[in-house]
Amino acid sequence: MADAPTLRTLGAADAGALAELAARPDVVRMGDHLDTRRASDWAAWIGPPERDGAPVLGAFEDGALVAAAKLEPRTRRRVAHSAKITLVASEKRRFDRAVDALLDALVDAADRWLQIVRLDLAGPAGHRRLKRYERRGFALEAIQRGAILTDGEFIDEATFGRIRPGTEPYAPPPSNLELPWPPKGPRIKAKIRQAREEDGPAVAEMMAETTVVWGTMQIPFQSPGMWGARFATNPPDRFFTYVAEHRGAILGMASVILLGELRRRHVGSVGMSVATRAQGRGVGRALLERLLQTADALRVHRVELGVYVDNDRAIRLYERCGFVREGKQRLLAFRDGGWVDNLVMARVRAS
Ligand SMILES: CC(C)(COP(=O)(O)OP(=O)(O)OC[C@H]1O[C@@H](n2cnc3c(N)ncnc32)[C@H](O)[C@@H]1OP(=O)(O)O)[C@@H](O)C(=O)NCCC(=O)NCCS
């Protein structure tokens, strides 16, 4: 038996060895990449040498790279307390201890030095390897149906979360939000059309409204130019964004984005918001139905979204449109002075 694995940070010079490791079928099956990724793609994954960059660790046995793992802190402000671990490792038992060593090192760094509150990690549902994640404090949070294409089939993915021991989860300062949100009112028959660059400023204004900031991952200050630039430059074969327009005003926006990874192109991710003054009046429903029409026309297998556990109105809307609860991600986002849990919901095509 080889010596215990040694660990060290990977750099651009390791990209070739990583590409070779990652291309093995027993590694591909555990990940979300394909064996077509080149060394330059893996060099990009490792990233440039940065002072505070996302660390990529390699496990070596007898001088050879046998597994790698990346700890990637999230950059969006509302989830900046969380990080994702991606493993590049064979599913075979022989590599379990390399995986254990990598996870132990990254979890320790996250807990003791990086102040990361929430770590997440995913793997093929039901795989025996997942037990090892649980032993390190990761808890199964959701089974995401048909989330990943493996050997020609859409298989379920198990997603795990780990909350840093000692975290005091729900201690928000007193809220100054004025609840409740608008009650149901008479329906507005808005026109649903594609978002255009010139809609940007009106969308930014809506996204900064308190009810929208409360229900989404937006921040209360929006750059007016950002949305228009996104509408103009998002690849039109993967990003579909609609707005609801009524009497010349933008009352809502919804988008479905097909995920970028080749093995996740069958998955569409939904986000939506309606202006406070128009909520509860059928605009959200009209936008979501339009999104789902587009998803169905493209035969998108899985349409997924996240919604805070106490956003009852949004949850009701999603359930009426065929979305099913798949699990709960603990302390996913920061909202109104505290962390909030997030429901994972999805609508999966029958065939
Ligand atoms: C969640 C949101 C998109 C829903 O859109 P909406 O236009 O307010 O919802 P609709 O009026 O189309 O209602 C859709 C369903 O929700 C339910 N609903 C709407 N208002 C409700 C209310 N005040 N109380 C209870 N249920 C309500 C109804 O069941 C309705 O179904 P129905 O058409 O069969 O009656 C919108 O309220 C919003 O943008 N909220 C703030 C941002 C946000 O939370 N975004 C979602 C992030 S996941």
Pair 284, 321: CB distance under 8 Å: no
Per-residue confidence band for 83, with pLDDT thresholds at 50, 70 and 90: very high
Q: Which residues of 300-333 are buried (b: 16+ CB within 10 A; e: fewer)?
A: bbbbbbbbbeebebbbebbeebebeebbebbbbb
With bands split at pLDDT 50, 70 and 90, how would you rate the model's confidence at 177? confident
Query: For the residues 289-294, what does the mean pLDDT come to?
Result: 98
Return the higher-pLDDT residue of 235 and 172. 235
Give pLDDT, residue 2: 61
CA angle 204, 207, 209 (to 5 degrees): 115
Instruction: Look at strands 267-274 and 82-89 and give their pairing.
Output: unpaired
Q: Residue 53 Cα, ligand 1 centroid: separation in angstroms?
A: 40
- Checking if the pLDDT of 281 tops 80, the result is yes
144 lines ligand 1 (CB under 6 A): no
Phi-psi sector, 99: left (phi>0), alpha (psi -120 to 50), beta? alpha
Taking CA atoms only, the protein residue closest to ligand 1 atom 5 is 284
Distance 307 CA to ligand 1 centre (A): 12
Domain boundaries 191-348, corresponding CATH code: 3.40.630.30
Is the Cβ atom of 106 under 6 angstroms away from ligand 1? no
Binned at pLDDT 50, 70 and 90, residue 168 comes out as confident
What is the mean pLDDT of the segment spanning 82-108? 97
Q: Is 125 in the pocket of ligand 1 (CB under 6 A)?
A: no
31 touches 90 (CB < 8 A)? no
Which ligand 1 atom is at minimum distance from the Cα of 184? 23
What is the pLDDT at residue 129? 97
User: Which range among 1-10, 87-96, 297-306, 338-347 shows the weakest confidence by mean pLDDT?
Assistant: 1-10
Domain ranges of the chain: 6-163, 191-348
pLDDT number for residue 228: 96
Report in angstroms the alpha-carbon separations of 19 from 31, 47, 127, 234: 13, 14, 24, 29
The pLDDT tens digits of the residues spanning 108-163 come to 999 999 989 999 999 999 999 999 999 999 999 999 999 999 999 999 999 999 99
For the cut 80, the answer to whether the pLDDT of residue 165 exceeds it is yes
Q: What is the pLDDT of residue 173?
A: 66
Cβ-defined contacts of 287-290 (< 8 Å, 24+): 287/192, 287/242, 287/244, 287/252, 287/253, 287/254, 288/254, 288/317, 288/318, 288/321, 289/321, 290/192, 290/242, 290/254
Structure confidence at residue 320 (pLDDT): 97
Atom index in ligand 1 nearest the CA of residue 307 equals: 48
pLDDT of 316-350, one tens digit each? Answer: 999 999 999 999 999 999 999 889 999 999 999 98
What's the rounded mean pLDDT across residues 277-301? Answer: 97
Q: If you classify domain 6-163 with CATH, what class do you get?
A: alpha beta
pLDDT tens column, 16-74: 999 999 999 999 999 999 999 999 999 999 999 888 877 899 999 999 999 999 999 99
Residue from 178, 212, 242, 279 whose mutation best tests the ligand 1 pocket (most atoms within 8 A of CB): 279
Domains 6-163 and 191-348 share a fold: yes
Ligand 1 pocket, residue 285 CB under 6 Å: yes
